[in-house]
Amino acid sequence: MKENRPDPVGKGALRRRLLDARAALGPDALARAAEGFAAHGLDLPELAGAGTVAAYVSVGREPGTRGLLDALHARGTRVLLPVLLPDNDLDWAVYEGPGGLAKAGRGLLEPTGPRLGPDAVTAADAVLLPGLAVDARGMRLGRGGGSYDRVLARLARAGKDPALVVLLYADEVVARVPEEPHDHPVHAVVTPKGATRFGRS
């Protein structure tokens, strides 16, 4: 879910470095990583115990979510997937399996089912956030688009506190992520090598 807006000082260079590293990943490495994401994600209590998970469909060299989405769906978890709106906000629809996805703008895959409205995310017990890095405090570096900043603000306005989880490659867990006042820490990160939980605030 990428949009274009100015980057704060410090974030742009880190984003470029991380995206360059992702661009160097080959098909075999991506496939192995996707298997790890699914296995360790299913073991994470924040996802394993969730009745509803708001997630997203990975594209390109993003950490692969498809195996995890299918496993959660097969387990009976209600999975919500985003639909990008013209103003870069997110609508949501229920994931009905791989056959229920269609190509959309910006190279995205979106669910084909009925749209539930932007507030549907407030029903989630866990939210899988896209990202480029996370640090030891759980601070996440996003793509800089702002769509998920809106999601997090919507959750806060609704008084909701779902578990926030990010999937990342192992080398994207870094010492420090530049942050702004509106940035939210995540509660857990899943890599192909395992999961780290930062606790609930």
**Could you tell me the domains of the chain?**
11-197 (3.40.50.10420)
Give per-residue pLDDT as tens, 103-115: 998 889 999 999 9
Residue 34 token pair: 């996707």
How many Cα atoms within 13 Å fall on the side-chain side of residue 108? 18
Query: In the structure, what pLDDT confidence band is assigned to residue 55 with cuts at 50, 70 and 90?
Result: very high
Q: Which two tokens stand for residue 139?
A: 């601070």
Distance, CA of 92 to CA of 85 (rounded, Å)? 10
pTM: 0.90
Q: Binding site for substrate, residues?
A: 57, 62
In sequence order, what E strands does 16-162 have? 52-54, 78-84, 90-94, 101-103, 109-111, 126-129, 133-135, 140-141
Question: What is the rounded average pLDDT of the residues 17-40?
Answer: 95
For the stretch 159-192, pLDDT in tens is 999 999 999 999 999 999 988 877 789 999 999 9
Whether 59 and 109 have beta carbons less than 8 Å apart is answered as: yes
Indicate the range of 86-90, 93-97, 139-143, 157-161 predicted with least confidence: 139-143
Q: Give the annotated binding-site residues.
A: 11-15, 57, 62, 140-148
Q: What residues are designated binding site for ATP?
A: 11-15, 140-148
pLDDT score of 145? 79
With beta carbons less than 8 A apart as the criterion, state whether 11 and 178 touch: yes
| Confidence band, pLDDT 50/70/90 cuts, at residue 6 | very low
Please state which of the ranges 39-53, 123-137, 144-158 shows the lowest mean pLDDT: 144-158
Cα distance between residue 135 and residue 28, in whole Å = 27
